[in-house]
Amino acid sequence: QVQLQGSGPGLVKPSETLSLTCLVSGYSISRSYYWGWIRQSPGRGLEWIGSIYHTGKTYYNPSLMSRATISVDTSKNEFSLRLSSLTAADTAVYYCARAGGIGSGNFDYWGQGTLVTVSS
Amino acid sequence: DIQMTQSPSSLSASVGDKVTITCQASQDITNSCNWYHQRPGKAPKLLIYDASRLEIGVPLTVSGRGYGTEFSLTISSLQSEDIGTYYCQQYAILPFTFGQGTKLEIK
């Protein structure tokens, strides 16, 4: 059974960098699929941040203006998100998810979500 | 970016009712539309992919249809566990985008 477990700090200061990790169990990241990050806030709704393949190939949402970096560690079967230059607008629940299907846009397994608050 | 506009934004219906939620894309996305269900405090769950294909484990009371710019999700017989918020999502053109959500409640 595929399971995703996200982890990271719940509170970060403005201008700092957020680091989140998603540990995958029940499926080897190296086999297939893209692996993505999505966030949700009352003001912006659900917003796709970006996705990565096990080879390291990445796609990002241009709205993040190059602040996001997604990486993968196949030896640990996990992938990570770094989001820099944080502001209050980045306060959200951050989800990691598996992305399959045509266009790799079908998010079929999700982590539990990590609430991140940006505040001094 | 492609805008996905859902209607209605909220809906109240009785157990056993048939309910339909619609989603309009700002440009042609062929059949590249997914539907998700989210319960409070939980992650979204994929229900329908490729506009009309039922994800494994989803009840047959749920169905999706549409092509181009008009899509819909139908629950043929509403059950109490169907409450929550429903989202459409397009994956035809990056960046992937979601609708604003339709909140479904039981009368």
| pLDDT for A102 beyond 80 | no
Confidence of residue A93 (pLDDT cuts 50, 70, 90): very high
State pLDDT tens for residues A44-86.
999 999 999 988 899 999 999 799 999 999 999 999 999 999 9
B1-26 burial: b if 16+ Cβ within 10 Å, else e: ebebebeeeebebeeeeebebbbbbe
Chain B residue with minimum CA distance to A6? B43
The contacts of residue B10 (CB under 8 Å, 6+ apart) are: B102, B103, B104, B105
How far is A72 from chain B, CA to nearest CA, in Å? 20
Best residue in A35, A41, A65, A106 to probe B by mutation, most B CBs within 10 Å? A106
Residues 38-97 of A with CB under 8 A from B: 45-48, 59-63, 95, 97
Per cent of chain A over pLDDT 90 is 89
State pLDDT tens for residues A4-37.
999 999 999 999 999 999 999 999 999 989 999 9
How far is A14 from chain B, CA to nearest CA, in Å? 26
N- to C-terminal Cα separation, chain B: 36
Chain A residues whose CB is inside 8 A of the B50 CB are 101-102, 106
pLDDT for the residue A100: 87
Name which of A59, A102, A110 is nearest B50 (Cβ-Cβ): A102
How many Å apart are CA A113 and CA B85, to the nearest integer? Answer: 16
Mean pLDDT over the full length of chain B:
97
How far is A54 from chain B, CA to nearest CA, in Å? 19
How far is B59 from chain A, CA to nearest CA, in Å? 16
Q: Is the dihedral angle over the CA atoms A75, A20, B56, A33 positive or is it negative?
A: negative
Contact B89 A105 (CB under 8 A): yes
Q: Which whole number is the average pLDDT over B69-80?
A: 97
